[in-house]
Amino acid sequence: MAFSFDGITSKLSLGTALITAVPFTVACFFKESTVAIKTMFTADNANITNRFVLSSSTGGIIQALTTNTTNASATTTETYADNMWNSAAMVSGSATSRYAVLNGRFSVVNSTSKTPTGISTFIIGNSSAGTSSWDGLLAEFAVWQAALTPRELQSYNSGVPASLIRPENLILYMPLTQQVGVKDFGPQSLILANTAAVPVSDHPLILKPSKPRLRRVRLVY
């Protein structure tokens, strides 16, 4: 299962500003039927003059946007296909380092210096202004307080669960496989307001780690 957003008002809103500064990585899997400018996540202040945004854009590219009065963004050169599961990420290591990532492939770095202030919201599938809302499916949403490497995001794209990637820095992992509840938040329990985003019977292929098998050893004396 994944969560379906209607492109109008649906969203998942955390009751706290999950990220307010760099470094961080936000990643998710997405599936949509039409290419357009649509918001996967935003963390912003009350008047949206300071924000971090991960979105799709016209032409089928992924954009990682940082705003402090004016915008600075990194965009992928690769494009994604409609009606297929893809992964996207925003990686920001410092005020002068941000990348957009599509299916594990990093964009060219954007090095314009931006330090947003007053971040107070964290919204999945929409913006505070309610514009460019996500229209389609989102799944496997994860946030790390670290700038993940290309190898780590390639692993994420190949289906390795976010919980097994840099777990010491993972601050939110929501597979979005069910009605949103505390057990879907891990590793933290956070208050999440769900506005008309609904689970559907579709989900990207995620690997399930197997438990090690114990071998019986016969001792011969």
If you write DSSP's letter for every residue of 187-203 in order, what string do you get?
SS---EEEES-EEES--
147 falls within a domain = yes
Buried b or exposed e, range 203-216, using 16+ CB within 10 angstroms: bbebeeeeeeeeee
Digit-coded pLDDT (tens) for 119-148: 999 999 998 888 889 999 999 999 999 999
Task: Summarize the confidence of residues 27-36 as an average pLDDT.
Answer: 90
- Local structure of 117: helix, strand or coil: coil
Question: Who wins on pLDDT, 47 or 203?
Answer: 203
Nearest residue to 59 (alpha-carbon basis) of 73, 40, 80, 42? 80
134 falls within a domain = yes
Nearest residue to 112 (alpha-carbon basis) of 83, 70, 148? 70
**Can you give the CATH number for the domain in which 153 is found?**
2.60.120.200
38 and 56 Cβ atoms separated by less than 8 Å: yes
Digit-coded pLDDT (tens) for 14-24: 878 899 999 99
- Per-residue pLDDT at 36: 82
Residue 185 has pLDDT above 80, yes or no: no
The number of domains in the chain is 1
207 falls within a domain = no
Task: Summarize the confidence of residues 63-79 as an average pLDDT.
Answer: 97
Task: Summarize the confidence of residues 202-219 as an average pLDDT.
Answer: 71
If you write DSSP's letter for every residue of 30-85 in order, what string do you get?
EE-SS---EEEEEEE-TTSSEEEEEEEETTTEEEEEEEESEEEEEE-SS---TTS-
Task: Summarize the confidence of residues 45-60 as an average pLDDT.
Answer: 92
| Cα 121 versus chain centre, distance | 15
Which residues pair with residue 19 across a beta bridge?
none
126 falls within a domain = yes
| Cα 64 versus chain centre, distance | 11
Distance CA 211, CA 208 (A): 9
Confidence of residue 215 (pLDDT cuts 50, 70, 90): low
211 falls within a domain = no
Share the mean pLDDT of the chain: 89
Question: Who wins on pLDDT, 177 or 41?
Answer: 41
Integer angstrom CA distances of residue 212 from 17, 209, 217, 218 = 38, 9, 15, 19
For residue 212 the two structure tokens come to 């090690």
Confidence of residue 183 (pLDDT cuts 50, 70, 90): very low
Digit-coded pLDDT (tens) for 143-162: 999 999 999 999 999 999 99
**For residue 189, what are the domain limits?**
2-200
Task: Summarize the confidence of residues 207-217 as an average pLDDT.
Answer: 64
- Per-residue pLDDT at 33: 79
For residue 69 the two structure tokens come to 């009065």
Q: What is the pTM of this model?
A: 0.90
Residue 218 has pLDDT above 70, yes or no: no
